[in-house]
Every structure is written in C-alpha cells, then in structure tokens.
Amino acid sequence: MNTVGTPENPLQVAVVGSGPSGFYAAEALIKSGPAVRVDMFERLASPFGLVRSGVAPDHPKLKQVILVYDKLARSPEFSFFGNINVGKDIMLGELHQNYHAVLFTCGAETDRRLGIPGEDLRGSHTATEFVGWYNGHPDYRDRVFDLSHEVAVIIGQGNVAAYVCRILAKTADELKHTDISEHALDTLAESKVREIHAIGRRGPAQAKFTSRELREFGELRDCDPGVDALELTLNPESEAELADKNNVVSAK
C-alpha cells in the first residue's frame, strides 16, 4: 500500500466553504508538500465568502485579496465545486469515503440575537440581511427594507455597524460609484432616512470601530456626524482597560 502524501497516493483533502479561512487552509495544505490535492465545495455558485458579500461596496481595495485567491485557484492541485450543498447534495459520509481529511471552513451563518422585546417586529433586521442585500448575496437580494421613515437605529459599535451607517448616510450619487448592487442602489436612492443613531452596549473604550471607519463619516457629502460628549465619559473600569499596555485600542 502506498504511503499517503506521495505522488502515487497524494493526500486528498475536501474543504467545505470558500471564504478566506477556506482559501488560507487550502493554500497552507498545498504549500505543505507536492503531493496534496484540495477540492473546495461551496453552497453558492461563486466563491470568496464574506470578502465578496460582507465587505462594504465602497471599500474595493479590501476585496483585492481575491487576486491572491484567484492565483491559488489556478493551481493544478486545486479544484472548486460550486452549487454543492454539503449535507444535501453530497453527504459527509461520502466525503469521508473519498478524502483523507475534510475541513469545514464555512463559518457561522446565523446572527447573534439581542434577546430584547421587539426584536422580531417589522422593520427590525439583522446586519447579515442588510449587508447581504446591498452586496447582492443570493440569499438576501430579494429582501425588502422599508426606508420610508426618517430615523434609523443601528445597534452595534463595530466595523459592520459603521458600514451600515455609512451606506445609509451616503447619497445615491456617492453610492453609484461603488460596487453596490443595482437593486439596493435603486432602493437607497429613494431612502427618506435623514437621522441615524448608532447604539453600543458598552462604552467608547470597548468600541470596535477602526479609526479609518470613523473618519470616513466626516468625508461624506451630506453627513454631519455628532457624538454626545457625555457618552465619551470613561468609568473606572474603562480607564483601567485603556491603561493596560496590551490593549490594542490604547495603542492606536
């Protein structure tokens, strides 16, 4: 019997999921030796996961990592199979029968619920839905968002929350020069939203926005960003957190 990992019997690995983690795993496997073959399976027709459907459409440079993935995809040791739903179109047992190893790199596709009253009311949506909608994700492009009211509330203080705020705050003219999907552009062009509130569970010391994301609000054509000075007051716990030399926020 030939040893696994030799030219006569290469290591066969199935990677389920085609986002960044899947491609990085595939790259590491292929670079580990000349006798490795990687087959990647993706539920959708196209690869790249959140790089394609999660990055803000006005940040095209962040998507340039796709060029690295494209180079890997051209490797003779790599094959991509789209429109394959593992667990439906092909069973896990079948993968185990045909591969030496199976890696699941599909991530978490469900949102973390807030657990507050009114979360399921009409007009309440998850970031996954809204971001997927304006990026043209097949699962969300047909969703309907009512933007006929003047006030929108975004719960969260990370970069995704900043993406959503910025997309809502931009004019149609600003958005049309981005990679935003056409159906979302048409809807946002008719948006009546004029006031956007970003609400965080904790204080400014724990905010996950990057400085770049915050600065961009000051560059928008019709956006007048504001912060309540009282909300910037640090409690003793936050001061101690920022004083910690290992705190990445304090190092910025």
Spell out the CATH class of 11-104: alpha beta
Q: Is residue 109 pLDDT above 80, yes or no?
A: no
Q: pLDDT band at 110, cuts 50/70/90?
A: confident
pLDDT at 111: 83
pTM of the full structure? 0.86
pLDDT at 249: 56
Provide Rg for the chain, Cα atoms.
22
For CATH 3.40.50.720, list the domain ranges present in the chain: 11-104
Q: What is the rounded average pLDDT for all residues in the chain?
A: 91
For CATH 3.50.50.60, list the domain ranges present in the chain: 127-223
Q: pLDDT band at 6, cuts 50/70/90?
A: confident
Q: What's the CA gap between 130 and 33, in Å, rounded?
A: 42
Nearest to 2 by CA among 35, 32, 39: 35
Q: What's the CA gap between 1 and 9, in Å, rounded?
A: 9
Contact between residue 18 and residue 45 where contact means Cβ atoms under 8 Å apart = no
Mean pLDDT score, 82-111: 93
Superfamily of domain 127-223: FAD/NAD(P)-binding domain (3.50.50.60)
pLDDT at 248: 63
